[in-house]
Amino acid sequence: MANPSLLILAGDGIGPEVMDEVKKVISWMGSARGIHFDVSEDLVGGCAYDAHGTPLTDATMAKAQEVDAVLLGAVGGPKYDKLDFSVKPERGLLRLRKEMDLFSNLRPAQCFDALADFSSLKRDVVAGLDIMIVRELTSGVYFGEPRGIFKEGNERVGINTQRYTESEIARVAKSAFELARRRNNKVCSMEKANVMESGILWRDVVTEVHQRDYQDVELSHMYADAGAMQLTRWPKQFDVIVTDNLFGDLLSDLAAMLTGSLGMLPSASLGAPMANGRPKAMYEPVHGSAPDIAGQGKANPIACILSFAMALRYSFDMGDEAARVEKAVEKVLADGLRTADLLGPEGGSPIGTAAMGDAIIAALNETL
């Protein structure tokens, strides 16, 4: 069988710096585990604009459609802030998500024991936390029509429309149930069925999908505002949370911050299965291009490395190898190694991006 294929789009700012450390892990998988990937690289974001006048060329888009998974670093930076909206670096990212139809956004909130004191919540509330937010990513109020700012009498009115079709809800619900089966088999669906018709339909369709195909998974429903409270009160009650684009945007940021630094947070965006059965997929850290520290070798590469671990698990069905990477990260943190973003108020001596990558490789070697 051909090697699985990866397209690396490192992007701007700290993107290439953290991606260099992911490349070490990819090479390690080949040399130590005999798992080889066909890796190609291309430009996205500001660097693509500099080279081609567009944040994503058609040729790069076509490559992204062909590979088994895309690994993305980060895009953007102050240099590009004044560009026209149509060629801003973020448009490259949005085009990838849209044309690959990546409707299911997976945002884990996992608390490594060594960082439990980093959270704004008490240690016992977050220690050992491992939940997954599944956010619908391609529909809902960010895309619904009509939208705009209109004149009504002598004042302006801003309009956005929350719109979901049954099939859009069903496919993201299915993705959450499938995920739950690989985890602790529980899904909590969140909407506002008490005040929104789209929420009533959401609850109906999630229940139908559950009744039809996933009765073995435990399903509960919660209003999204109550969900936000429960996430801060006792987040460990959840396993998988599935919710729409807007609520998912808020709840996934809230859940992520339960666990500490932006430099630790991976994500996956998945679409429909391709001919080979693998989902269309893009993996990326949640953080941006961090222009304030770019080029200084200070960035934390863990979010990007954990995004690659998600690729191993969700694109290539290599859960054991993903767990090996996660265990190596846990080990270096337990050993007290910290990039600057992971130092608490008491300070300490940080290590740099490359040293953190090397420490993770050393910890991977210890798993053999």
Active-site residues, by number, are 142, 192, 225, 249, 253
If one asks whether residue 291 binds ligand NAD (CB under 6 A), the answer comes out as: yes
Least separation in angstroms between residue 307's CB and ligand NAD is 11
Least separation in angstroms between residue 186's CB and ligand NAD is 29
Residues, the chain: 368
If one asks whether residue 252 binds ligand NAD (CB under 6 A), the answer comes out as: no
If one asks whether residue 227 binds ligand NAD (CB under 6 A), the answer comes out as: no
If one asks whether residue 187 binds ligand NAD (CB under 6 A), the answer comes out as: no
The total of other beta-carbon atoms located within 10 Å of residue 39's CB is 17
If one asks whether residue 7 binds ligand NAD (CB under 6 A), the answer comes out as: no
Q: Retrieve residue 352's tokens.
A: 């740099």
Least separation in angstroms between residue 169's CB and ligand NAD is 25
According to CB under 6 A, which one of 300, 315, 316, 360 is a site residue for ligand NAD? 300
According to CB under 6 A, which one of 252, 259, 289, 315 is a site residue for ligand NAD? 289
> Smaller CB distance to ligand NAD: residue 135 or 171?
135
d(CA 188, CA 206): 10
Q: Where are the beta strands (DSSP E) in the chain?
A: 5-11, 38-42, 69-74, 104-110, 130-136, 144-152, 155-161, 186-191, 218-223, 240-243, 266-273, 279-285
Contacts for 321 with CB less than 8 Å, ≥ 6 apart: 29, 33, 35, 309, 312
Choose among 115, 109, 55: nearest CA to 267.
109
Edge-first strand order for the sheet with 186-191 is: 38-42, 5-11, 69-74, 279-285, 266-273, 104-110, 130-136, 240-243, 186-191, 218-223
If one asks whether residue 262 binds ligand NAD (CB under 6 A), the answer comes out as: yes
If one asks whether residue 303 binds ligand NAD (CB under 6 A), the answer comes out as: yes
If one asks whether residue 352 binds ligand NAD (CB under 6 A), the answer comes out as: no
- Region from 158-166, 220-228, 299-307, 322-330 binding ligand NAD, contact rule CB under 6 A: 299-307
According to CB under 6 A, which one of 25, 67, 75, 351 is a site residue for ligand NAD? 75
d(CA 216, CA 195): 30
Whether the CB-CB separation of 258 and 111 falls below 8 Å is answered with yes
d(CA 20, CA 355): 12
Whether the CB-CB separation of 140 and 152 falls below 8 Å is answered with no
> Smaller CB distance to ligand NAD: residue 75 or 169?
75
Whether the CB-CB separation of 67 and 97 falls below 8 Å is answered with no
d(CA 136, CA 47): 29
According to CB under 6 A, which one of 4, 16, 76, 260 is a site residue for ligand NAD? 76
> Smaller CB distance to ligand NAD: residue 10 or 219?
10
If one asks whether residue 341 binds ligand NAD (CB under 6 A), the answer comes out as: yes
d(CA 221, CA 242): 10
If one asks whether residue 115 binds ligand NAD (CB under 6 A), the answer comes out as: no
- Region from 73-81, 143-151, 178-186, 187-195 binding ligand NAD, contact rule CB under 6 A: 73-81
If one asks whether residue 105 binds ligand NAD (CB under 6 A), the answer comes out as: no
> Smaller CB distance to ligand NAD: residue 277 or 345?
345
d(CA 220, CA 230): 13
If one asks whether residue 56 binds ligand NAD (CB under 6 A), the answer comes out as: no
According to CB under 6 A, which one of 199, 260, 288, 357 is a site residue for ligand NAD? 288
d(CA 289, CA 304): 12
Q: Which residues contact ligand NAD (rule: CB under 6 A)? A: 14, 18, 74-77, 90, 93, 262-263, 284, 287-293, 299-300, 303, 341
